[in-house]
């Protein structure tokens, strides 16, 4: 939280983890009412928000995956 620039290298890994979650690659034990690991998704989105703040390159790396996660959450495609 204090210095997000020192952890910018985590963006690709976090984006990859979020993508795996939204594509249901985790065991079913992580699902909550057929939503894959919602608490982990929220936490990753919060961290990505901090890391992407005022950094266009980092933001660009995460846009597509975040958009897909939000689309699935909005339309109920998590089944």
Q: Tell me: the pLDDT tens digits for 8-57?
A: 889 999 999 999 999 999 999 999 988 899 999 999 999 999 998 888 88
CA distances from 30 to 15, 55, 59 (A): 18, 31, 27
The whole-angstrom separation of Cα 21 and Cα 54 is: 26
Top-confidence residue, 57 or 76: 57
Top-confidence residue, 77 or 16: 16
Residue 36, pLDDT score: 92
- Is residue 58 predicted with pLDDT exceeding 90? no
Q: State which H helix or E strand residue 22 sits in.
A: helix 11-22
Q: Calculate the CA dihedral of residues 71, 33, 50, 74 and round it to 10 degrees.
A: 20
Residue 17, pLDDT score: 96
């Amino acid at each position: 939280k204090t210095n997000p620039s020192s952890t910018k290298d985590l963006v690709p890994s976090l984006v990859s983890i979020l993508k795996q979650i939204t594509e249901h690659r985790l065991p079913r034990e992580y699902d909550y009412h057929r939503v894959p690991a919602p608490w982990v998704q929220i936490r990753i989105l919060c961290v990505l928000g901090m890391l992407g703040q005022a950094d266009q390159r980092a933001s660009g790396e995460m846009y597509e995956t975040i958009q897909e996660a939000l689309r699935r959450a909005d339309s109920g495609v998590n089944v």
